[in-house]
């Protein structure tokens, strides 16, 4: 089975692989149900979706009447105003067919102007705090992409005591010294404050280079099982980090298998020579670099 560990201060023991339900965004319900069966078989007990993930919330909602008790359920809102966030949350609750979600997250909060609006008077955060008081959500988090996200999360934690953060983590991203320094600073603060740290893009290879496919994700992933295992175990070698599975559902079985193989003997330097070789062999590149595109 996949190792579980406390998800920050939530008192929930989550599997270190969290199911990234963006994978369900364009999926038929019958196929989505098969994914749920795999999650249940593997013991995965944490689902992460978002209002902006196509039909994902509806696909997850189809399961909730029978399986709600098995999962810590998280979603996200991309709205920055209080009114917009309230409307988004209520719509998510309807689509998920639940009265309360365990975690609501401010989605991709990195842009300076959006950050000021969302965390300011009348902004999305105020609405989510009110929703928590009303029992519609239990915890509040923040997510983001790009090279500035770790630094922005540090600022967000100065403004509000978020329960979780989410950001990219893979060997290529952490090979950039500035990003690695911000990432490590964020991890230290989160550890001190018992804030859950979720990671994304663990098995990313690079941005798409031409017309090759199939494209189940906006970036090209690693596909060779050994490379996927090394990428997954690199993330899980860091104590306390959670890994959100890819939006490419075809990679889920290999990701789960890699997580089952990960153990206490792994270290941060786990097979680093092989990871460097994977960079050369597969042309692995950071999805985000300073001065480059910061979005998807």
pLDDT digit string (tens) for 250-261?
999 999 999 998
Beta strands in the chain (DSSP E): 4-6, 13-15, 17-20, 46-48, 72-77, 101-106, 137-143, 164-168, 196-200, 204-207, 219-221, 241-244
Distance CA 205, CA 231 (A): 10
Structural domain tally of the chain?
1
Return the pLDDT at 157. Answer: 98
Residue 156 lies in a domain: yes
Q: DSSP per residue over 197-253, as a string?
A: EEEE-TTEEEE--SS-S--SSSEEEP-SHHHHHHHHHHHHTSTTEEEEPPS-GGGHH
Domain that holds residue 62: 12-282
Distance CA 122, CA 110 (A): 18
Cα three-residue angle 57-58-63, rounded to 5 degrees: 95
| Residue 190 burial by Cβ neighbours in a 10 Å radius (0-12, 13-18, 19+) | buried
* Model confidence, pTM: 0.95
How does pLDDT run across 157-169, given as a tens digit for each residue? 999 999 999 999 9
Residue 125 lies in a domain: yes
Return the pLDDT at 264. Answer: 46
CATH number of domain containing 196: 3.20.20.100
Closest CA to 161 of 127, 184, 189, 130: 189
Cα–Cα distances (Å) from 21 to 60, 166, 291, in that order, read: 8, 14, 30
Return the pLDDT at 266. Answer: 55
Q: Which H or E element spans position 52?
A: none
- Taken as a whole, the chain contains a residue count of 296
Place of tokens 């988090």: 141
Q: Which H or E element spans position 26?
A: none
Distance CA 196, CA 166 (A): 8
Positive or negative: CA dihedral 22, 25, 31, 34: positive
DSSP classification of residue 4: E
| Residue 89 burial by Cβ neighbours in a 10 Å radius (0-12, 13-18, 19+) | buried
Return the pLDDT at 163. Answer: 98
Residue 6 lies in a domain: no
pLDDT tens for the chain, 296 residues long, are: 899 999 999 999 999 999 999 999 999 999 999 999 999 999 999 999 999 999 999 999 999 999 999 999 999 999 999 999 999 999 999 999 999 999 999 999 999 999 999 999 999 999 999 999 999 999 999 999 999 999 999 999 999 999 999 999 999 999 999 999 999 999 999 999 999 999 999 999 999 987 766 678 889 999 999 999 999 999 999 999 999 999 999 999 999 999 998 764 555 555 788 999 999 999 999 999 998 888 77
Residue 144 lies in a domain: yes
């Amino acid at each position: 089975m996949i190792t579980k560990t406390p998800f920050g201060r939530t008192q929930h023991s989550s599997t270190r692989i969290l199911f990234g339900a963006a994978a369900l965004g364009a999926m038929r319900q019958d196929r989505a149900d098969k994914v749920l069966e795999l999650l249940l078989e593997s013991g995965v007990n944490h689902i992460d979706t978002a209002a902006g993930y196509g039909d994902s919330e509806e696909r997850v909602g189809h399961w909730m009447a029978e399986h709600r008790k098995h999962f810590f359920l998280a979603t996200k809102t991309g709205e920055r105003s209080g009114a917009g966030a309230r409307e988004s949350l209520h719509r998510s609750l309807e689509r998920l067919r639940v009265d309360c979600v365990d975690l609501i997250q401010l989605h991709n909060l990195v842009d300076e102007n959006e950050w000021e609006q969302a965390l300011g008077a009348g902004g999305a955060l105020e609405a989510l705090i009110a929703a928590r008081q009303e029992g519609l959500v239990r915890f509040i988090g923040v997510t983001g992409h790009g090279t500035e996200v770790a630094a922005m999360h540090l600022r967000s934690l100065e403004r509000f005591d978020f329960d979780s953060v989410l950001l990219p983590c893979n060997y290529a991203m952490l090979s950039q010294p500035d990003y690695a320094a911000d990432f490590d600073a964020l991890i230290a603060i989160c550890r001190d404050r018992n804030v859950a740290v979720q990671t994304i893009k663990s098995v990313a290879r690079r941005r798409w280079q031409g017309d090759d496919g199939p494209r189940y994700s906006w970036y090209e992933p690693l596909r060779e099982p050994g490379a996927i295992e090394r990428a997954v175990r690199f993330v899980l070698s860091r104590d306390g980090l959670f890994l959100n599975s890819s939006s490419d559902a075809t990679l889920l079985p290999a990701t789960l298998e890699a997580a089952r193989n990960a153990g206490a003997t792994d270290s941060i330097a786990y097979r680093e020579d092989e990871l460097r070789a994977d960079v050369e062999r597969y042309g692995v590149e950071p999805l985000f670099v300073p001065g480059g595109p910061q979005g998807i």
